[in-house]
Amino acid sequence: MSTLRATVITPSYQQVDYLEECLRSVADQGVPVEHIVVDGGSTDGSREVIERQADRLAWWCSEQDEGQSHAINKGLAHATGDVFTWVNSDDALTPGAVPRVLEAFAADPSLQVFGGQVVHRDAHGDRVFDRLNDAHDAHQLWCDPVINQPATWYRMDVVRELGGVDPALRYVMDLSLWWRFLFRHGTAHLRFEPAPLAIFRLHDTSKTVTAHAGFLDETASLLHEASLTVGEEELAGLLAGLHDLRPGLKPLGAGPEHRDRVRRMVARFLLKWHGTVHTEREFVHMREALPLLASIELDAWERERHGKLQDQLRPRTWLGFRLRRKLRHLGA
């Protein structure tokens, strides 16, 4: 049996309908888990749920905090485990997830990140989210990673080395941690298995459902900082033109040697999220982006996306673009 210890941190706020299931999913893993619950002062009965489960928790609090990232870092200050993930109060672990994680880390002392699948749960039931990282596909790991967050575990010493999650982020603290890890350690010591390790709940009040623009703005902010760091001012300007950037973020750790990598990361982001133009803001800035994107090494999907973007942006004006789009729609 592995001697490694697992830490799960649960940031919690106003999720009483789901909290007890989350707590039980960690407590019923069949192996000891250091479970730390950091509640932001909920007034919906969450504190009472936590108090009923307090004997199964390593540490908990219920007091006002500065949001999810702050709560995770507060929990890390009390953590003593060897491997770590966070499981939000409206999510849960699947049965047997922690033993599988500990076995993976024990079998490979050089392993730094281990990930599995999540089960998406909504009003229609459960379905396994099939997408998973390929540890041998560096382009995907850097440019389009699949961060199944509650099913992604890190060595605790790596998390501490990186200073925990970025407290300035509300939406993409998991992506920031991922990229900061890659810029520091690369992709050599990662492993992923097609095994459901966590339940990721989608509901009307979850941030994943309600705050798509916030996720994109924060991701653009991370890439903006990295672009400036490696001397790609033009790419940084495009990101600033397309998004409302967040100030004061932790640097990703990119250096001059990462210039081509950052260029490809930004290209993927722009083509994935702005490859289909909907707004005048996108029209203006993606027209500027076309020649710059053509100068970056693109994979097959990105080249196809770039070609379709070129076709969309043949009109020289926003009015011409809208007219062409309307005519095409009428002719469909």
DSSP character at residue 256 = G
Question: Strand pairing partners for 310?
Answer: none
Q: What is the pLDDT of residue 203?
A: 66
Q: What are phi and psi of 65, to 5 degrees?
A: -135, -170
The crossing angle, in degrees rounded to 10, of helices 212-229 and 259-274 is 150
The answer to whether residue 1 scores a pLDDT higher than 80 is no
Mean pLDDT of 214-238: 98
DSSP character at residue 151 = G
Q: What is the pLDDT of residue 326?
A: 87
Cβ atoms within 10 Å of 119's Cβ, excluding its own: 20
Question: Strand pairing partners for 84?
Answer: 7, 154
Cβ pair 30, 1 in contact under 8 A: no
- Walk me through the domains of the chain, giving residue ranges and CATH numbers: 6-208 (3.90.550.10), 211-331 (no CATH)
| Of 154, 178, 148, residue with least CA distance to 166 | 178
Helix (H, G, I), strand (E, B) or coil at 215: helix
| Of 18, 200, 196, residue with least CA distance to 97 | 196
The answer to whether residue 94 scores a pLDDT higher than 90 is yes
Angstrom distance (rounded) from CA 90 to CA 94: 13
Place of tokens 């469909």: 332
User: Which pTM was predicted?
Assistant: 0.94
Amino acid identity, residue 24? R
> What sign results for the dihedral spanned by CA atoms 97, 185, 136, 222?
positive
pLDDT band at 207 (very low <50, low <70, confident <90, very high): low
The answer to whether residue 6 scores a pLDDT higher than 80 is yes
Residue 102, judged by CB atoms within 10 A of its CB (0-12, 13-18, 19+), counts as: buried
Q: Which of 5-19, 117-131, 145-159, 294-308 is predicted least confidently?
A: 117-131
